[in-house]
């Protein structure tokens, strides 16, 4: 007896589902084995695979592919029921055919079959294949669709799973022919457990229950990645990457803010009260244009600032978000360091000047060893009149532009003032003493910008001393703001 005969009779012969033979035992056309057809199916044998039964829809599928001459080769198992009882399968030298009433008979093989097997075959979340393994339309790879998703493979990316809302988004963009290309990872949970993602050749799709599936790629994705992906303050994307209405750039909105990009400005974050103000001004179509920096902390952390193509927005809890369309340039020269930290003075100056729409650009700091000028003779400290010591001190304008202001920090003035804004012609600046208050710097430079003393302790320019200011931050009234804005030392942004 032959191996085929042994197999047949071991199954019950004519009493089995195979029934009576309809052919003799015949050598396969490729000469590698033998077969015999029966009323209910076939038995195929080769030295490498032994004698195996194949019948029904699976046999029909295999026959349609060219029997043992196809890429599948000889069966290596009988047809078996799947462990979950929902279908049937045969394994072959070159892959498998799986069948269920809902999905029909489908081929799965190679790297895609290996991936599917690693996920639990038909018992995994993908379920049964609903297509054969097929070439992608662009000829770069292969895929199988399954009840629960898909596996895509290319030589460059390997075999990766994709399913659910992320697969739906990717499909809507043209599958692997879209700008994202092939998936380079399986769909995976995000580290924070709040969502899911797939990375692709051209970007990523991120999904969460609150935000749905959104695309992110290019410079915006790189920026978001540098901040910590979805674990950053921005959270998950709430939009795809989109073109700005003016066509000059791109953006993604996120749970915690936005990233905007243009060729001229790069990718920058914007969020919170500053983003709200920018939005109210028309986003990138407003006079400010695109952000040129991330939102940044001020020097002493009192506030926050973002810079834009045509200005800035400053925010602090005390003054809120203010757009800055003008700027002054400031240098400091230190003979004696002030008691109040310079960064705090600069922050307070920026805070109060923001109410006039002015940005304070701190350009440089230099330490001066001039002991004879450390207790500075300022005379009557009146505009238009200066002493010899003031003339000598204010001549120190290294790296200073003609319309830049300089503040000289000294130990004291003679007679004693907190500061003095009288300066030689063409050398705009002021002297501020060691024990000055946090508002003195802003007050003295207010004089340089054309403001006079007032008898009101609610205002920056109080003549009663900045230590008596009653409502920090002090006020700059509209008329004063106009004077400052129109001063030759104030530049348009």
Cβ–Cβ under 8 Å, residues 328 and 303:
no
Cβ–Cβ under 8 Å, residues 126 and 151:
yes
**Calpha distance 344→473 (Å, rounded):** 13
Cβ–Cβ under 8 Å, residues 87 and 98:
yes
Cβ–Cβ under 8 Å, residues 326 and 485:
yes
pLDDT of residue 1: 64
Backbone angles phi, psi at 385, to 5 degrees: -130, 125
Cβ–Cβ under 8 Å, residues 427 and 397:
yes
**Calpha distance 1→161 (Å, rounded):** 48
**Calpha distance 46→43 (Å, rounded):** 10
pLDDT of residue 439: 98
Q: 72-117 pLDDT, tens per residue?
A: 999 999 999 999 999 999 999 999 999 999 999 999 999 999 999 9
Instruction: Tell me the torsion sign for CA atoms 15, 19, 23, 26.
Output: negative
User: In a 10 Å sphere around its CB, with 0-12 CB exposed, 13-18 middle and 19+ buried, how is residue 384 labelled?
Assistant: exposed
Cβ–Cβ under 8 Å, residues 451 and 433:
no
pTM of the model: 0.91
CATH of region 326-492, choose from 3.30.200.20, 3.40.390.10, 3.90.190.20, 2.160.10.10 = 3.40.390.10
Which residues does the chain have with pLDDT short of 70?
1
Instruction: Tell me the torsion sign for CA atoms 50, 56, 62, 63.
Output: positive
Cβ–Cβ under 8 Å, residues 170 and 177:
no
Cβ–Cβ under 8 Å, residues 431 and 408:
yes
Q: Which residues contact 85 (CB under 8 A, 6 or more apart)?
A: none
Strand partners, 297: 304
**Calpha distance 460→478 (Å, rounded):** 13
pLDDT of residue 181: 98
193-204 as b/e, with b when 16 or more CB fall inside 10 Å?
ebbbbbbbbbbb
Q: Which long-range contacts (CB under 8 A, 24 or more apart) does 233-240 make?
A: 233/257, 233/271, 234/259, 234/269, 234/271, 235/211, 236/194, 236/195, 236/206, 236/207, 236/208, 236/210, 236/211, 237/206, 237/211, 238/211, 238/214, 239/214, 240/214, 240/215, 240/216
Q: Any idea of the CA torsion for 413, 414, 417, 420, to the nearest 10 degrees?
A: -70
């Amino acid at each position: 007896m032959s191996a085929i005969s042994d197999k047949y009779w071991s199954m019950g012969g004519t009493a089995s589902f195979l029934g009576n033979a309809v052919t003799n035992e015949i050598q396969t056309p490729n000469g590698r084995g033998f077969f015999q057809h029966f009323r209910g199916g076939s038995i195929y044998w080769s030295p490498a695979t032994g004698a195996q039964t194949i019948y029904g829809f699976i046999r029909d599928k295999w026959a349609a592919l060219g029997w043992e001459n196809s890429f599948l080769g000889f069966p290596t198992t009988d047809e078996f029921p799947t462990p979950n009882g929902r279908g049937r399968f045969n394994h072959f030298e070159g892959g498998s055919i799986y069948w269920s009433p809902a999905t029909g008979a489908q081929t799965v093989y190679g790297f895609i079959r290996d991936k599917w097997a690693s996920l639990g075959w038909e018992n995994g979340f993908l379920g049964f294949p609903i297509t054969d393994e097929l070439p992608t339309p662009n000829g770069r790879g292969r895929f199988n669709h399954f009840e629960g998703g898909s596996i895509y493979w290319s030589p460059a990316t390997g075999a990766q799973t994709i399913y659910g809302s992320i697969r739906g988004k990717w499909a809507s963009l043209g599958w692997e022919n879209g700008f994202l290309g092939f998936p380079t990872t399986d769909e995976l949970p995000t580290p924070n457990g709040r969502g899911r993602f797939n990375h692709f050749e051209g970007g990523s799709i991120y999904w969460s229950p609150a935000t749905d599936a959104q695309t992110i790629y290019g410079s915006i994705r790189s920026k978001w990645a540098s901040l910590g992906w979805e674990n950053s303050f921005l959270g998950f994307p709430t939009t795809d990457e989109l073109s700005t209405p003016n066509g000059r750039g791109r953006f993604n909105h996120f749970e915690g803010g936005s990233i905007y990009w243009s060729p001229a400005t790069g990718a920058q974050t914007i969020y919170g009260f500053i983003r709200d103000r920018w939005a109210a001004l028309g986003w990138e179509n407003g006079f400010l244009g695109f952000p040129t920096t991330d939102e940044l902390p001020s020097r002493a952390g009192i506030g926050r600032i973002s810079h834009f193509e045509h200005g800035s927005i400053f925010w602090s809890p005390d003054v809120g978000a203010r757009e800055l369309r003008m700027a002054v340039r400031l240098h400091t020269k230190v003979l004696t360091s002030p008691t109040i930290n310079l960064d705090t003075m600069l922050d307070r100056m920026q805070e109060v000047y923001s109410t006039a729409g002015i940005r304070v650009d701190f350009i440089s700091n230099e330490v001066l060893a001039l002991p004879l000028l450390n207790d500075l003779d300022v005379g009557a400290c009146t505009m238009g009149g200066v002493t010899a010591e003031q003339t000598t001190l204010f001549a120190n304008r290294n790296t200073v532009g003609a319309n830049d202001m300089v503040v000289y920090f000294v130990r004291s003035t003679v007679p004693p003032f907190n500061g003095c804004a009288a300066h030689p012609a063409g050398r705009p600046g002021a002297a501020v003493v060691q024990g000055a208050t946090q508002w003195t710097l802003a007050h003295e430079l207010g004089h340089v910008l054309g403001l006079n003393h007032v008898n009101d302790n609610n205002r920056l320019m109080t003549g009663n001393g900045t230590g008596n200011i009653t409502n920090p931050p002090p006020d700059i009234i509209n008329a004063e703001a106009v004077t400052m804005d129109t001063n030759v030392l104030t530049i348009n942004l």
